[in-house]
Amino acid sequence: LADYLGIAEIAQKEKHPDEARKAVAQAGALAVKLNVPIASENLSLGTARVADLAGDPAAVLSALPANLEFVRLGPVAAGEAQALRARAFGKLGQWPEAVAAGKKAVSALDMIRQSLGEGPLRSAFTSDNAAIYTDLIVALLQLGRTSEAFEVADAARGRSLLEHLSSLRQSVRTSARDAAEADRLLRRIDALTQQLRTADTTRAPERTVALRKDQKRLVASLNAARNEYEDRIRRVARTDPRGSVLLGTSRMGAAEVRRALEPNEILIEYFAMPTRLLTFVVSRDTVVSLSHNVSVDDLGNKVSLASQLVTRPGAATAASNVLRGLHDLLIDPIAQLPQYRQASAIIVVPHSALTYLPFAALASRDGKRLVESKSILVLPSASSLPLLRASAADSRDAKSSVFAPFPAELRGTMEEATAVKAETKKARTYLAANATELQLRKALSSGDNVHVASHAVLNQTNPMFSKIELHRGNSGSPEDDGSLDVHEILSIPVRSDLVYLSGCETGAGAAWSTAFRTSQDYATLSQAILYAGAQNVVATLWRIDDAGASVFATRFYAALAHSSPADALAIAQRQMIGDRRYSAPKYWAAYVVSGSGLPRSSQSQQRASVP
């Protein structure tokens, strides 16, 4: 049966509809002969897939009646069925029905993301998750529900870190009992689903009645386990709201995001679709959406070219032209909005290849860089803003710890450490052999502001092992081996108001460097530190110049004495632009700040409520 349906899909993809119809008919005849529920479920889903490929939305809906639950094939098949129904309703212009089915598809996708089980169908379903979110966003916008569309677009990001670290549910902030119980429930759900599949392939005519009763019991147990799992996940989210939002397992509403904005701020969230780019502009009063005709592949090529040219000697003119074109595409359409003109600070939530774009270097037609008129804060999701700004602790008396483990090899880091210490009150400096992993762990967990000037290594194959290199300690402990990896950072309760990673590619993920699902970003050092508890993280998008790094850090900390981290970064970048020696973007555009964008002491002031 699976072979016939697979042949039908291949034939339809290859534009052989007659062969596809023949294979579907053969599958249908075999399903009748088998006369078991799992065969019917497979036939319905397979027929709908072929109809979707054929561009026949009515046939999709005919194959997938609303009462078909896919109990045996599990939530993956149920989610895919709802995604196919949502797309079909959209093609027919039935937008309310498209929204209802799309929400069910997204809900199923969110549950599947929590589990690494369910076999190969899971990867087939989740690999197309961008289309699932896109269909729902389009349907919501068609109905004028812009705020809801913004919330769905925001929910589509921030999931990869969770997918690549199943042990994250063992976070120190998460209830160990709830986490362990959630894992046990996932295993039970997988086992019950497999038992149902097995029961459908068991031929025992003399026990037909007993078999049907057994199947009903299994279905009831499976539904109960799924309900209990969902309750457990909600309980974990309540236990660790910050972590669940940063990782995308739960989210804030548009009103909460608006309430978290300062009066002089707007939030710009991008969402890359196959053939166009959606932009949401959020202020304290409104949520506005715009659409631009540019494919996700074209956008990726433009960003890749810009990143290459910015760092290439002798390519200043070419780089400026590309950055000007990107400004025309990304900023000019929203520059006409009064919300944008009135804002002195923007919060950018990038998507897809835009994660790797140095927004600060974008140039308008008059040659001005974006950072010359706006301070820029970058966030993994809009939902994270209210959580990051919720802390009321006062860090004005926080000490600073400065690490430079390789001053002989990276000569600029010695100068950088000295300059940072001079600009920072109550600073402790750890140089060479004293700059151990254990000392860095202590500084992060003690509440110190932390500055690290060292190598950073981006692991393209397994981003959970991207690392900051330090000196190996003498304790012999794995926690002092000189390599602080992403997965280790996640186990540290980071209490720092500011962590400054003056290394190479500390803010970049592996998605850009590989062909694997480039529509999503992966675990980065800065994202891990933010999740672990830091309020603000300064990181880099590419390999930074050793000498320029020292000058930039000095200017940043001088400005930080009287500015927020976001404003201090903008001030330092403007000063670099005005300095002939360092005016080229390669010296300053790689730096980005993520987090609350505010010093922790400023966050205790409650913002005015938003209706």
pLDDT of 77 reads: 84
Each residue of 186-243: pLDDT tens digit? 566 666 666 666 666 655 444 454 545 666 776 777 667 766 755 665 555 555 555 5
| CA-closest candidate to residue 88, choices 114, 58, 53, 109 | 58
pLDDT of 265 above 60: yes
pLDDT of 164 above 90: no
The structure tokens 């993920």 sit at: 509
pLDDT of 609 reads: 36
376 in helix, strand or coil? strand
pLDDT of 98 reads: 96
DSSP string over 1-44: -HHHHHHHHHHHHTT-HHHHHHHHHHHHHHHHHH--HHHHHHHH
pLDDT of 353 reads: 82
Give CA–CA dist 88/109, Å, rounded.
18
* Element spanning 111, H or E: helix 95-113
pLDDT of 174 above 60: no
Which of 145-149, 231-235, 450-454 bottoms out in mean pLDDT, i.e. has the lowest? 231-235
CA atoms within 13 A on the CB side of 245: 25
Average of per-residue pLDDT values in the chain: 79
Q: Tell me the torsion sign for CA atoms 306, 308, 311, 317.
A: negative
Burial of 202 (0-12, 13-18, 19+ CB in 10 A): exposed
- Distance (Å) of CA 347 to CA 40, 233, 567: 49, 29, 12
Give CA–CA dist 363/159, Å, rounded.
31
Give CA–CA dist 422/175, Å, rounded.
42
| CA-closest candidate to residue 573, choices 587, 563, 558 | 587
Each residue of 273-314: pLDDT tens digit? 888 999 999 999 999 999 999 988 888 889 889 888 888 888
pLDDT of 167 reads: 35
Tokens of 312: 């290439």
Each residue of 550-605: pLDDT tens digit? 889 989 999 998 889 999 999 999 999 999 999 999 899 989 999 898 764 444 34
586 in helix, strand or coil? helix
Please state the φ and ψ torsions of residue 329, each to the nearest 5 degrees: -80, -40
Give the amino acid at 458. L
Name the CA radius of gyration of the chain, rounded: 26
Each residue of 74-129: pLDDT tens digit? 777 888 899 999 999 999 999 999 999 999 988 877 666 555 333 333 344 444 56
601: Cβ contacts below 8 Å, ≥ 6 apart:
393, 394, 395, 396
DSSP string over 218-239: HHHHHHHHHHHHHHHHHHHHHH
Q: Region of 229 please: left (phi>0), alpha (psi -120 to 50) or beta.
A: alpha
22: Cβ contacts below 8 Å, ≥ 6 apart:
none
Give CA–CA dist 529/396, Å, rounded.
21
Give the amino acid at 232. R
pLDDT of 424 reads: 78
Distance of CA 601 to the CA centre of its chain: 28
Give CA–CA dist 148/276, Å, rounded.
19
Bridge partner list, 347: 267, 377
Helical packing angle, 129-142 and 146-155, nearest 10°? 170
